[in-house]
Amino acid sequence: MKNLLRFEFRKMFRRSSLYICLGAAVATAVLTVFTTYSMYKIFMEDISTMQSFSSSDLAALAGFTQLDGWGQMLIALTSSSPVMLMGIFIALLVCSDYSSKTAKNIIGRGYSRTGWLSAKLAAVGCACLLFSAVTMLAGFLSGTIFWEAGEFRGRYIVLILLQLLIMMGYAAVFVFWSVLLRSSGGAIALNLVFPTTLSLILTVLDLLIFEENGKITRFWLSGAMQTAAGVSADGKDLWLAALAGVLYTVVFTGLSYMIVNKRDV
C-alpha cells in the first residue's frame, strides 16, 4: 500500500493539469473578488448622496456582505469555478489509469482493486484540499487588498472545516462518475454538467413547491456550501450541511468501491 500511495502522489504532482487547474482556480477567485469590488465601488458612488443610512448599511441592503479578507475567503468556494476545475482534474487523474492500462497493470502485479482505489482516493483527497486551500487563500488575499483583512472569529474555523468536508463530498461524486464511465471526456462532461444542472433543478422545485429558495437545495452540496459560507448561519443549518457532506462522501465513495470491485479493470 505504501508503494501505491507513493506512486499515486508522485504521478499526481507530475501532472501539468494539476497546476493549470489550480492556477485557473486562483485566477477565477481573484476575478470574482475584483468584480464584487468594482460593483461595490459603482454602487457606493451612485448612492453617495443618500445620507439617511450609513454606507455599510446601504451596502448590506444591496447584497454586498462579508467585504473583507476573511469574508471573501469564506465565500470563495461558493463559486462553481473551483468545484468545476476540481472535477476536471479528478476526471483526468482517475480516467488516465484506465486509458493507459495503469490500473490493469497495478492489479496484475498483485495489488487489490480496493488497494488501487484507496490510493487513488488518497491522492484525490489531497487534490481536494489543494483546490480548497488555494481558492480560499486567493479570496483572502484579494479581499484584504481591496478592503482589509477584517476581524477573525473562532466560528470561522468551524465554517472552514465544514466547507472542506463539503468539497470532499464533491470529490467523491466526481470519482464515482470517473470510475463509472472510465472515459475522461465523459467524466469531465458529467462533472461539469451534473452539479450545476442539479442545483438549477432543485432551485426550480424550491420555487414551484415552497415559493422560496433553500428548502430543497440545502440538501445538495451547493446549498450546503452556501450555508457553510454564512457567518450568521444557525447551528441546525450547519449540522444539516455537515450531514450532507458526510452522506455524499460516504455514499459515493462506497458506490465507487462497489463499481471497481464488480467490473473488470
How far apart are alpha carbons 51 and 257 in whole angstroms? Answer: 61
- The single-letter code of the amino acid at 146 is F
DSSP state of 64: -
Q: Which of 107-116, 138-147, 177-186, 213-222 has the lowest mean pLDDT?
A: 213-222
Q: Which grid cell is 81?
A: 469555478
pTM above 0.85, yes or no: yes
Task: Please tell me the predicted confidence (pLDDT) of residue 108.
Answer: 85
Q: Which grid cell is 84?
A: 468545476
Determine whether 249 is exposed, middle or buried from the number of CB atoms within 10 Å of its CB (0-12, 13-18, 19+).
buried
How far apart are alpha carbons 223 and 79 in whole angstroms? Answer: 11
Task: Please tell me the predicted confidence (pLDDT) of residue 62.
Answer: 45
Q: Give the chain's largest Cα–Cα span.
A: 75
Task: Please tell me the predicted confidence (pLDDT) of residue 225.
Answer: 94
> Closest Cα to residue 227, out of 213, 243, 240, 216?
240
Q: Which of 97-111, 133-147, 203-217 has the lowest mean pLDDT?
A: 203-217
Task: Please tell me the predicted confidence (pLDDT) of residue 11.
Answer: 92
How far apart are alpha carbons 127 and 9 in whole angstroms? Answer: 10
Task: State the CB neighbour count (10 A cutoff) for residue 166.
Answer: 29
The residue whose grid cell reads 489550480 is: 22
Q: Which residue has the higher pLDDT, 106 or 231?
A: 106
- The single-letter code of the amino acid at 56 is S
Cβ–Cβ < 8 Å for 226, 244:
no
Residue 142 makes CB contacts below 8 A (sequence gap 6+) with 29, 30, 33, 34, 69, 72
Separation in Å, CA 188 to CA 54, 94, 140, 173, 247: 47, 11, 29, 12, 23
What is the percent of the chain where pLDDT is above 90? 60
pLDDT, one tens digit per residue, over 150-195 is 889 889 999 999 999 999 999 999 999 999 999 999 999 999 999 8
Task: Please tell me the predicted confidence (pLDDT) of residue 191.
Answer: 92
Cβ–Cβ < 8 Å for 97, 103:
yes
Q: Which grid cell is 97?
A: 489509469
Q: Which residue has the higher pLDDT, 141 or 47?
A: 141
How far apart are alpha carbons 181 and 158 in whole angstroms? Answer: 35
Task: Please tell me the predicted confidence (pLDDT) of residue 47.
Answer: 60
Cβ–Cβ < 8 Å for 172, 191:
no
Task: Please tell me the predicted confidence (pLDDT) of residue 167.
Answer: 97
Q: Which grid cell is 257?
A: 468501491
Averaged pLDDT of the chain: 88
